[in-house]
Amino acid sequence: MNTPQPKRLTAVPSKSAVLRGFIWIGVILLFLLVFAWLALPAIVKHQAEQRVTEKFHRQLTIGKIEFNPLKLVMTVRDLKLMEPQGNAVFASFDALTLDLSSESLIRFAPVVKEVRLVKPYVHLVRIEANRYSIDDIIEQITSQPPSEKPARYSLNNIQLEDGSIEFEDKPAKTTHRVTELRLGVPFISSLPIHVHVFVEPLLSAKVNDTPLLVKGKARPFADHKEAIVELKLDDLDITHYLGYLPYQPNFRVPSARLHANLTASFQQPKDQSPTVVVSGDAAMKSVQITERGGKPVITVPELEVKLDDMDVFGGRFDIARVAIKGLTADMSRDRTGQLNLLRLLPPERPVASAVKGAATAAAAQVALQELDIRDASLRYAEDTADRSLRAGVEKFNLAARKLTLDAGKKKITVGEVTSDSANFQLRNNKLQTQAAAAAPSPASNTASNPKSAAKGAAGNKAASPYAVNVARIDVKNWSARLEDHDHEEPALAVIAPLSLSVQDFSTAPAARSRVDLKATLNKSGQLALNGDVGLAPLHTDLAVEMKNVDLLPLQPYVTEKVNLRLTQGNASGKGRLQLDAAADGALKGGFKGDASLANVASVDKASKNDFLRWKSLAFSAMDIKLEPLSLTVDRIALSDFFARIIIDATGRINVQDIARSSAGGKRSLTEVADRPAAAPSPADPAAPARPAIVAKATTAAQTAVQQAAQKLPPIRINKIALQGGRVRFTDNFIRPNYTANMRDLGGTVTGLSSDTATTANVDLRGEVNRAPLAIAGRINPLKRDLFLDVKATVRGMELATLSTYADKYVGYGIEKGKLSFEVAYMIDNRELKANNRLILEQLTFGKESTNPQATRLPVRLAVALLTDRNGVIDVNMPIDGSIDDPQFSIGGIILKVIGNIIVKAVTAPFTLLGSMFGGSGGEEMATLEFEPGRATIPAAGEDKLKSIAKALNERPALKLDITGHADAAVDIDGLKQTSIERKVRSLKIKDMQARGETVQPGSVVVKPEEYAALLTRVYKDESFTKPRNVIGMQKSVPVEEMEKLMIANTAINENDLIALGDRRAQAVKDWLLKAGHVAPERVFVSATKSAAVEAREHDKSKDKGASPLHGVNFALK
């Protein structure tokens, strides 16, 4: 069974309760109205007077404040703000009426329909330069932090009536007055609010009793409000007003006149923010800005600006044209590194830190349709402690079209930039003063001011660069004069004319621009670049062509480092330059093309004599690569070249002095000072002593070559061609000096490479003192260890040119003769193996030298030993050695070998003869031993005599002395034995004659079967006492006993020994004349010496242990 639910009762307010509510609301509203009408003005008045007085330290009094809350109209009457001292009125007005709009309550922002200010008054005082009576108010206002949000307001129908301004200038002892000031402003608003506007733009006053009137027109429409003000100024001298700047300027303005015809349009479209747009023309004329001392900084005879629309609040600037004529700017940087233009700026005022989220102005957008600069001059001067720099551009014309700047996007766009005239000049001077080392540089000056440095660093970090885009750049008829006085000699380069065309220039990443540059360098040189260029990252792909570019302007940059002077020369080239910067900063790419240096000539800076020159040095098909570095050249051609090579008195070659050293300093390359040469070493009389300086220089050069070789990049030169070369060589190391001329040098070097597995083929030809020269072989100087395998020949060089060498080292000058040589050098693994074949023809010596350094050896004898029957000396000189030896010198080795040959020829002539003509090959050829007591040439001795005879016949200049010797210890018994044999042979000859036989004594031989009988008869004829038997008769004795008795009783004296020596010498001579066919006038017999003399000479000899000679010895002369 459903139980009925009770109904909920709803309370319904009674009519009396509702009425009570309305009554209370009415009471509250009435209270508020009464409060706003009666109490609020008093409260506002009290608070305003108190707070303004406390904040600005100036007493504020307000006569009365009225407020009508129903009409929302407030009136402030009789306001006065006193000076800080309270003795004078600073500002006042009779009444200020503000007619507020009810929209102020809705938008929570002041919206004023009308502002009316009656009789405002301001009293300003200039106390002294840059000090004013309102400085305290300005500082108080500017020190406040900016608002977090932009101000929101709308002020309309602004009217100022019967105002006055009194400006008291105490330093000038004058007072300026503005009276009867009336101002009408239709509106100033940051809100899209429409209020009825009835005030037209107006500005009228009397300035020092001179009337001023500016009128405008207001166009109030329902959906669009607009007011227009026109301002015209004609020849206004603004210099009178610069004295009232709120700071002490660091510049002066002797002249500046302003012309203006501007229109300001105040607009507020419906439901949009208001705008103020300025348009028209403005011009500045006769502008001069100087430093306080009167030094000119900026001069502008004429500056014209034509504005299309300039939206002041919106940050949009549309400029039709900017024309600048006759601009002169003199910029300079002092020794502290400060730019003079920065000194002209006003000092920075302390500003409170910006509040986070504070309002920022709208990013500016600028559009300039045309920029025209004519006859401008820009100059720059920099004077630091050690440098003076002057730069400038004169007669500078520039035009630009369609320029836009978007500050929000940080982007600058230019449609076209053209310049048809400019003269650029640069002069750099280096100051050599003691103050230069102590004075701080601009960089150190910045570093010494950490606040400034930190501020600059912070600014640089925060600021990001603008992106710049220029559709076309066209530069023509430019000229440049570059002077660099930073060196011992000033450098000068003139570039005229210069033209540059750039398409699509951009600083954007990966952007590419098309560049076309053409320039004339120093009147004769031509430079052309054409291709693509990028800035971020760096990229170039340029076709480069250079013709006849003078090298002389580069001379000053090396003149302090070298002892030669470039007198002429030009460079040419054509190819493609491709470069790309990698992310790590490495530069990749390279150059491909041709290059040449032509008509290059240099002279010794000291003597002005020719040193090095050539007609053409051409590099064909070069390929230079970077990262990794490599070089490839298809062909290098050097033609018509000349070099002057000199060895000075210390043995130093002049090419070592091309570069000035700290020790050597300035030296002549073609006239070497006379310095004493090192004396020859006693151990090497034929070769000059090697100076220590040469050894050190050689060691240093070898070390440098080795280090350079280790770092060499891949290099390949397919062919090097030489033609028409000439070298003049002088050796001042010897006295008198020697000079040789090498001419018509030419040939090729092919396949030169740093690859250690390859070698280059060398084939060179020429003349040395008009004798043919040929060099051929293989070489690789680019590998770490030099490889060399070459052969060189010289045919028929006149020896008379070497007379000075012979005079010093040999002791005789050379009257005539010819030299030929064949050399073969092999250097591998730093070891030298060489063979030198030296051929001298018809060598004829002159008078003996008086040079104290000349050898005193019998050189003529040595030459006679080496000269064959045809007047030819043919010597092979194999040599070897390590090029790592600090004393290594190929020339020194050759001289040493030649010296050894001469010494050997003199001290061991028969050893030398034996090596050339057979025989034992030792000094045994100098002697011939005989059998004891005999003068008959032994059979073994004939071979030795045959070698001697052959040598004499092959060396027609040699003469032979033969000296016989007899040794008493050996030859006395031999003489006794031969005495018996001679008696026996004589007895046989007598018997033969008795029988009537024809006898040839020299051919008579005693037969063995005859000997005993003949000896017995001789024995019986001897007068000495003979052995007898028991009956007193001569006893018969055998042959041996008879010989012993006869020997024992035969007397041999000194004369017998001498006679034996003479017979031996004569026997040898006879053999040489008859069997050896030697001319008699070339063989001489010397008298045999006595035993006593022989003994004395034997005691004095070096070889005292040798037995005395029983034979003959030979001496050559």
Compute the half-sphere exposure of residue 781: CA atoms within 13 Å on the CB side of its CA.
9
Strand partners, 530: 516, 543
pLDDT at 221: 47
Enter the DSSP assignment of 709: H
Is residue 1028 scored above 90 in pLDDT? no
Burial of 897 (0-12, 13-18, 19+ CB in 10 A): buried
pTM: 0.65
In this structure, are strands 154-169 and 121-128 parallel, antiparallel, or unpaired? parallel
User: What is the DSSP annotation of 249-298?
Assistant: -SEEEEEEEEEEEEEEEEEEETTS--EEEEEEEEEEEEEEEEETTS-EEE
Is residue 869 scored above 80 in pLDDT? no
Distance CA 878, CA 49 (A): 120
Is residue 586 scored above 50 in pLDDT? yes
pLDDT tens for residues 38-62? 677 888 888 888 888 888 888 999 9
pLDDT tens for residues 705-731? 455 445 678 999 999 999 999 988 887
Distance CA 701, CA 693 (A): 12
Provide the 10 A C-beta neighbour count for residue 984.
21
Is residue 577 scored above 60 in pLDDT? yes
Is residue 327 scored above 70 in pLDDT? yes
Distance CA 756, CA 717 (A): 14
In the CATH scheme, what architecture does the domain 923-1116 have?
2-Layer Sandwich (3.30)
pLDDT tens for residues 115-132? 999 999 999 888 887 778
Strand partners, 527: 519, 546
Burial of 412 (0-12, 13-18, 19+ CB in 10 A): middle
Segment 1084-1090 shows an average pLDDT of 88
Q: Is 137 helix (H, G, I), strand (E, B) or coil?
A: helix
Provide the 10 A C-beta neighbour count for residue 1056.
18
Looking at the chain, the domain(s) classified CATH 3.30.1330.60 span 923-1116
Distance CA 2, CA 6 (A): 12
User: What is the DSSP annotation of 520-536?
Assistant: EETTTEEEEEEEEEETT
* Region for residue 569 given its phi and psi (left: phi exceeds 0; alpha: psi -120 to 50; beta: otherwise): left
| Residue of 530 and 832 predicted with greater confidence | 530
Q: 1018 and 1043 in contact (C-beta within 8 Å)?
A: no
Is residue 895 scored above 60 in pLDDT? no
Q: 227 and 214 in contact (C-beta within 8 Å)?
A: no
Provide the 10 A C-beta neighbour count for residue 887.
13
pLDDT tens for residues 458-512? 444 445 788 999 999 999 999 999 988 887 788 899 999 999 999 999 998 889 9
Is residue 155 scored above 50 in pLDDT? yes
pLDDT tens for residues 991-1005? 888 888 887 777 788
pLDDT at 539: 92
Segment 930-937 shows an average pLDDT of 89
The mean pLDDT of the chain is 79
How many angstroms separate the most distant Cα atoms in the chain? 222
pLDDT at 689: 42
Question: Of how many residues is the chain composed?
Answer: 1117
Q: 816 and 842 in contact (C-beta within 8 Å)?
A: yes
The dihedral built from the CA positions of residue 98, 103, 106 and 107, taken in this order, carries a sign that is: negative
Q: How far is CA 277 from CA 266, 671, 840, in A?
A: 7, 83, 106
